[in-house]
Copies of this chain bind each other. A is one copy, B any other.
């Protein structure tokens, strides 16, 4: 033991487990009357979010919830959903926010696999939840979240979320002042689980990704750094909170005492009206959300008269969408990550010194790359998945994107084989294929399973999609592999045209031929709406099935 390791141990004075709960306490202590949440006519201050979270935490404990128990929630982006990101971990429990677009069977699987002890259910999803409980082999306490703006659905369970708050208030007798630290509400160990998020799993059962307090704390801060957010941003919840805990943004908004504008549905009028009415400064969304906003009525678009920033991820954004948003005056930050990395961990860091003078289309093309590691990511590389040898930085060689650091998941719940495989060689294997450019920026070429291998050549479906998006008549496009006796696979394009536009299959093929190497040109073009997941990702597995039926 050296002199620096002697009599210099951790004490209560100089060591606290990292947890985003601390950010909530701080926001409530310093900015008690600042608005934390807006939903329609409702308002919650940071003091109220703290007080209500304290109540819910105590009520859950009184109902038998102990450290490491799972509290599931099936809800739209409501104030209660936001609050649960604090209240549930403050009880020592693990928040399992379930994708609200899932079918009852899958919800039932998740409740069972995650061993939910309590199930919070938004009225809108009462019927799905009810059915899910009939197939689940657990019987959680069910508490409903009422919302008088929602006319459909069902109030499930015997108790209301507000009654849970009241139950906690009764236990506490009176709200104390915000304490001098988050003390009893913090985990003993920052490695303790804070959330459980199931992957969308296009085949087989979804996997349960476990987050810990340390990672949630760090990625929440990373978001603030990526966006240089400053204090009191106004954030619109266009991104579902069930998706990687809203990329950790509920916690980020506590870091900088921002305001969350909650909306039940991402309808274009509501988005534009909310941005204008509340002077929204930041929002997040998959490229499909941006595309919807871009294709909205011009009158709606003109409602944005102040500085707005959008962060996009969840699928590689076509350069045309980035350019469109920028031209609308909305600053796009392109980030990238996975459920396994707490949401975004890379960003396409803007190089004004190098790119500031380029044409907007060129800028958008550069920005469409997934970029470089964020401040809290420790390692990022594009490498051979077997040898872990990084690929050359030539923009051509394809490898797998791999990450390491404190914002990589704790692992998959009850699935040690999958965890070991994902972490093989000490790196998280993303399953995304990319090239590494000379300037150190990475660019996704495809999901491993989405690459098209035709006549022995690798074809990036994203490259073809990017080209299709640039066609003025095309609103959306997706490209998948279709089996071919001759070539192994060939590209098959699914295209949605803009209203009033007309194109033939041959038009599209000719267009591609004039811009792409011959082997990359789609052999088939189908005009149709694209099936999507709840997070806006095109369901390529469904398209692959369609392609085989042609």
- Residue numbers of A with Cβ under 8 A of B are 2-16, 18, 22-23, 26, 29-30, 34, 67-69, 94, 115, 180-183, 191-193, 196, 210, 215, 221, 224-225, 228-231, 255-256, 349, 353, 372-373, 375, 378-381, 390, 403-406, 408-411, 413-414, 416, 419, 422-423, 426-428, 440
Contact = CB atoms under 8 A, between A and B. Distances in A.
A277 B4 CA distance: 42
A404 B181 contact: yes
Given A68-B5, A255-B225, A378-B182, A426 B115 contact: no
A11 B413 contact: no
Nearest to A403: B13
Contact of A231 (B69, B115, B228, B380): B228
Given A4-B193, A14-B423, A228-B230, 13 more contacts: A2-B67, A4-B68, A4-B192, A9-B411, A11-B423, A12-B426, A13-B408, A14-B428, A16-B405, A29-B372, A30-B349, A30-B440, A180-B380
Contacts of A229: 228
A335 to B, nearest CB: 14
A50 to B, nearest CB: 13
A14 B180 contact: no
A30 B182 contact: no
Nearest to A194: B4
A244 B196 CA distance: 40
| Copies of this protein in the complex | 2
B408 A14 contact: yes
A375 B215 CA distance: 16
Contacts of A34: 353
A18 B218 CA distance: 10
A5 B11 CA distance: 24
A192 B221 CA distance: 23
Contact of A428 (B9, B13, B428): B13
Contacts of A12: 404, 423, 426-427
A13 B191 contact: no
A121 to B, nearest CB: 22
A435 to B, nearest CB: 15
A184 to B, nearest CB: 13
Contacts of A390: 180
Contacts of A182: 378
B410 A255 contact: no
B380 A14 contact: no
B181 A409 contact: no
Contacts of A6: 414
A45 to B, nearest CB: 13
B231 A14 contact: no
Nearest to A68: B2
A67 B16 CA distance: 25
Contacts of A115: 3
A410 B68 contact: no
Contacts of A427: 12-13
B440 A29 contact: yes
Given A15-B406, A221-B221, A10 B191 contact: yes
Contacts of A30: 349, 372-373, 440
